[in-house]
Amino acid sequence: MTSPRIPQNFQRPLARRGLLKGMGAAAAFATVPGALAACSSSKSSGSSSGNAGSATSPVTFGSNYSDASPKAAFAALCAAATAAGGPKVTINTVDHNTFQNNITSYLQGTPDDLFTWFAGYRMQYFAAQGLALPLDDVWAKIGGNFSASVKTLSTGLDGHQYFVPIYNYPWVVFYNKSHFAAKGYTVPTTWDDFITLCKKMKSDGIIPLAFADKDGWPALGTFDILNMRINGYDYHQKLMKHQVPWTDAGVTAVFDKWAELMPYLQTGANGRIWQDAAKALEQKQAGMMFQGTNQVAAQYVTDNANLDDLDFFPYPAINPTYGQDYMDAPTDGFMISKKAKNPAGAKAILEYIGTAAAESTFLKTDQWDVGVATGLQAPSYDAIQKSSVTAISNCKAVAQFMDRDADPAMATAMISIIQKFIDDPSTGNITSLQNSAEQQAKAIYTS
Amino acid sequence: MTDQELNPAAAAAPRAPRRRRVGRLSGRDKAVVAVLLGLPIVLDLAFIWGPALATVGLSFTKWNGVGGLSTKICQPNVPSILNNGCLYGVQNYHQAATIYPEFWPAVRHNLIWLAVFVFFATPLGMFFAVLIDRGIKGSRMYQSILFLPVMLSLALVGIIWEFMYSQNYGLINTVIGHNHNGNAIDWLGNPKLNLWSVLIEASWRQAGYVMVLYLAGLKAVDPQLREAALMDGTNAWQTFWKVVFPVMRPINIVVMVVTVIESLRAFDLVYITNKGINGLELLSVLVTSNIVGETQRVGFGSALGVILLVISLVPICAFLYLTFRRETQPKGAR
């Protein structure tokens, strides 16, 4: 189950319908928090039905969990929510590409009460447009189940919560334990060790790092991690919001380090899908691969490869100031649409989903993601999931992934820029690509 | 306008005098005219002209698809979320032509696509048609094989060719022994190669399409013409170029139009291959990638759509000019 991050479907959302409907102006988002202050965090935690609708009448759930196994896991989750005293849930599953591409018109039309979505800027964007319902009263009840950083991830730009998370997954460097043992390789923790290991692998006739970027988004992860290792998390977030220009020396440093790594990355990445890169790792043609567990571990399961042999380590440290403090760990979860017919019932469902028990239910069939509730003891966790928990909890902060932290239009622009970098990582090209990125960022963010 | 065009009800009223005026139509005739002419006009305005004009209008705005449009002028240096739905002047066009790195490659690729279809796929299809028309052994089988790709959707064609072109697991690299990581040829990822790789896929299908059109044309050529040419001592080459080809003029025009339309609406193959990035940019893909998605740049995408519309109008106008000129000629001769 991949999580396609970038608009990639040609089914056209009927965008102009929004025009015909003459819906409220965009400025309306500014008034949303005030209008809903009545049901915000100060509300007592007595009953869940204080709003329109009823906590017991049925709710509908728009879902993008369209692949078979997450679909089953999601159905089990909703059934458990009903069994735990929540209302009956009708799930409307839509293919995930279609779902993501149509989200704007979907939320402005007749949306389901609840919908599946992603944390970070992607959530904040729709919250700021006034298309999502603030969930401060839900968070008043479930807040104790989550760490402060998870709460931050669920908070919109206006300071209200709009999102209830369920799982995340780390972006780390994968390798096969047996392969490392047979060749006598050791896990690198610093950049120098990493490059030394890559050189050794190359001389052993192994591709040091399996690499693929045909879909465009996987290489954004490499940019994210290098940026966080070199310039730190705060810089990365500022860059994603275009508070730092793309022509900055920090960005040049990221591309320079990447250029240093290029000889050890699998060649022809722009023509390879990440599934084929994962196969190179499975077949031990490649020694390592940097990607999310949601992809690599899931692919091992799909291919019936030896999942027990798979292991990972956090990306090696580059700048000692930041060490291995940060990583990408995209979080998925749920929101309530502003036009929900039964917000009280929807909130009752989210109050259940925001518990460790609910996450355990979901994770019974999922062998690659990890729950985000604190103290979650999932009996079904495999070694990868257990290491994921440790790796994420060792971080001082986790980023969401470039297209969740940045405006998706900018992420789309960066996809082609990074592919051009992969084609030609020379210094001159880096400069012109940075200029191009900055010009587009100006057009997308500020003009 | 001829009488017949103005008066489709004439067919419904048999033996109607040729010079009858509209005012002398019965009420029922008028109703029929109103429905038969009015309905298509309304549908055409609503679903073709309306959206086209709306696109032109939207191309002068900045809008992300949420909320309504306003008549305010966009403020400079303000976060885009506060500048939603405002009037943006020709900024979208300016940005497309100056700072949007995909724009000029897309225009160039569209032109290359057109050139390959005109100078490679179409002659190839014609060649197949002539070979098959000569009745070589097993011609029906060849005809079926060559036509098969036309029956498949382009999306499927793209997926089939992925199996051929895949670096490490594809047929081509495996057969030529270039499927190892050191020497693999990156057919679909290398921006110097992938446009040509995809054009081979497109031509594979287009040649079959053109072949069928020409086969129909060749069947319609009077055999007596060929016999006469043969009597005059021409060889096969001369017969084709001097006799058969000129007779097929109507088919040639149809094929030309099909070729231009197919190359301008090229989209599916590159989208299936890599979403139309990194060497496969096309204008149609840029329109889609800006308008479809979570956060939409509707104004910018519309501007690109208008540019594509203007480019499309050139061959459309040329075709209409030729068609109307041909229709008016026989009338003048009458």
Choosing among A416, A439, A446, which should be mutated to test the B contact, i.e. which has the most B CBs within 10 A? Answer: A416
Quote the minimal CA–CA distance from A395 to chain B in Å.
29
Please tell me if residue B84 touches chain A, with a CB cutoff of 8 Å: yes
Quote the CA–CA distance of A385 and A403 in Å, as a whole number: 24
Position A336 pLDDT exceeds 90 = yes
Closest chain B residue to the Cα of A109, Cα to Cα: B66
pLDDT tens-digit series, residues B257-266: 888 888 888 8
Quote the CA–CA distance of B131 and A256 in Å, as a whole number: 57
pLDDT tens-digit series, residues A87-121: 999 999 998 888 988 888 899 999 999 999 999 88
Quote the CA–CA distance of A196 and A261 in Å, as a whole number: 11
CB pairs under 8 A between A and B: 172
Taking contacts as CB-CB distances below 8 angstroms, the residues of chain B near A445 are 79-80
Quote the CA–CA distance of A204 and A384 in Å, as a whole number: 27
Region A331-358 average pLDDT: 93
Quote the CA–CA distance of B267 and A294 in Å, as a whole number: 30
Predicted pLDDT of residue A98: 86
Please tell me if residue B105 touches chain A, with a CB cutoff of 8 Å: no
Region B44-56 average pLDDT: 94
Does the beta-carbon distance from B296 to A23 stay under 8 Å?
A: no
The ipTM value here is: 0.73
Does the beta-carbon distance from B68 to A25 stay under 8 Å?
A: yes
Say which range, A378-392, A400-414, B173-187, has the weakest mean pLDDT: B173-187
Quote the CA–CA distance of B268 and B280 in Å, as a whole number: 11
Does the beta-carbon distance from B277 to A216 stay under 8 Å?
A: yes
Choosing among B196, B281, B292, B302, which should be mutated to test the A contact, i.e. which has the most A CBs within 10 A? Answer: B292
- Give the distance from CA B309 to its chain's centroid: 12
CB atoms within 10 A of CB B274: 25
Higher-scoring residue by pLDDT: A122, A293: A293
Position B334 pLDDT exceeds 50 = no
**What is the DSSP code (8-state) at residue A265?**
B
Provide the whole-model pTM: 0.79
Region A428-434 average pLDDT: 96
CB A214 within 8 A of CB A273: yes
Three-state SS at B15? coil
Say which range, A256-265, B60-69, B184-193, B320-329, has the weakest mean pLDDT: B320-329
Predicted pLDDT of residue A52: 64
Quote the minimal CA–CA distance from A265 to chain B in Å.
10
Predicted pLDDT of residue B249: 84
Does the beta-carbon distance from B65 to A105 stay under 8 Å?
A: yes
Please give the full DSSP string across B61-121, using - where no structure is assigned.
EE--SSS---SPBPPTTS-GGGSTTEE-TTHHHHHHHHT-TTHHHHHHHHHHHHHHIIIII
Predicted pLDDT of residue B23: 64
Predicted pLDDT of residue B15: 52
Region B234-244 average pLDDT: 86
Position A18 pLDDT exceeds 70 = no
End-to-end CA distance of chain A: 37
| Average pLDDT across chain B, whole number | 85
Residues 266-305 of B with CB under 8 A from A: 267, 271, 274-275, 277-278, 288-298
Quote the CA–CA distance of B92 and B84 in Å, as a whole number: 14
For chain B, the residue count is 334
Quote the minimal CA–CA distance from A50 to chain B in Å.
28
pLDDT tens-digit series, residues A229-268: 999 999 999 999 999 999 999 999 999 999 999 999 999 8
Quote the minimal CA–CA distance from A208 to chain B in Å.
11
CB B87 within 8 A of CB B61: yes
Position A185 pLDDT exceeds 90 = yes
Dig out the tokens for B61 from the structure.
């705005």
pLDDT tens-digit series, residues B272-314: 888 888 889 999 999 988 888 776 789 999 999 999 999 888 8
Say which range, A13-17, B3-7, B32-36, has the weakest mean pLDDT: A13-17
Query: Cα dihedral sign for A187, A190, A196, A198?
Result: positive
CB B229 within 8 A of CB B238: yes
Position A171 pLDDT exceeds 90 = yes
Quote the CA–CA distance of B308 and B286 in Å, as a whole number: 10
Sole residue written with tokens 């990074």: A418
Please tell me if residue B194 touches chain A, with a CB cutoff of 8 Å: yes
A81: left (phi over 0), alpha (psi -120 to 50) or beta: alpha
| Average pLDDT across chain A, whole number | 86
pLDDT tens-digit series, residues B178-220: 887 678 888 888 888 999 999 999 999 999 999 999 999 888 8
| Nearest Cα residue to B204 out of B160, B170, B261 | B160
Does the beta-carbon distance from A101 to B79 stay under 8 Å?
A: no
Quote the minimal CA–CA distance from A298 to chain B in Å.
21
Q: Around B274, how many Cα atoms within 13 Å sit in the side-chain half-sphere?
A: 34
Position A21 pLDDT exceeds 60 = no
Nearest to A443 among B95, B267, B291 (CB): B95
CB atoms within 10 A of CB A287: 27
Percent of chain A's residues with pLDDT above 90 = 65
Position A426 pLDDT exceeds 70 = yes
Three-state SS at A171? strand
Quote the CA–CA distance of A305 and A283 in Å, as a whole number: 9
Phi, psi of A8 (to 5 degrees): -150, 30
Please tell me if residue B323 touches chain A, with a CB cutoff of 8 Å: no
Q: How far is CA B70 from CA A128, B55, B60, in A?
A: 18, 16, 12
Structural element, H or E, at residue B244: none
Predicted pLDDT of residue B185: 87
- Give the distance from CA A275 to its chain's centroid: 18
| Nearest Cα residue to B300 out of B314, B310, B289 | B289
Predicted pLDDT of residue A8: 36
Does the beta-carbon distance from A280 to B296 stay under 8 Å?
A: no
Quote the minimal CA–CA distance from B313 to chain A in Å.
23
